[in-house]
Amino acid sequence: MKLRNFFENKVVIVTGASSGIGLASARLFGSLGARVVMAARRVSLMESLAPSVAPAERLLCVGCDVSVEEDCRNLISATVERFGRIDILVCNAGLSMRAMFKDLDLKVIRTLMDVNFWGTVNCTKYALPYLLESRGTVAGVISIAGYSALPARSGYSSSKYAVRGFLDTLRIEHLNDGLNVLVFAPGYTSSNVRNAALTADGSSQGETPLDEDKLMTAEQCALKLARALAARKSEVILTPLGKATVIAHRLFPRLTDRLTRTYIAREADSPFK
In this structure, are residues 96 and 194 in contact, taking their beta carbons and an 8 Å threshold?
A: yes
Catalytic residue among 147, 156, 161, 188: 156
Dist CA 208 CA 111 (whole Å): 20
Provide long-range contacts, Cβ within 8 A and 24+ apart, for 212-218.
215/188, 215/189, 215/190, 216/186, 216/187, 216/188, 216/189, 216/190, 217/24, 217/189, 217/190, 218/20, 218/21, 218/23, 218/24, 218/189, 218/190, 218/191
Does the active-site annotation cover 130? no
Distance CA 95, CA 71 (A): 17
- Residue 252 CB: number of other CB atoms within 10 A? 12
Catalytically active residues are 156
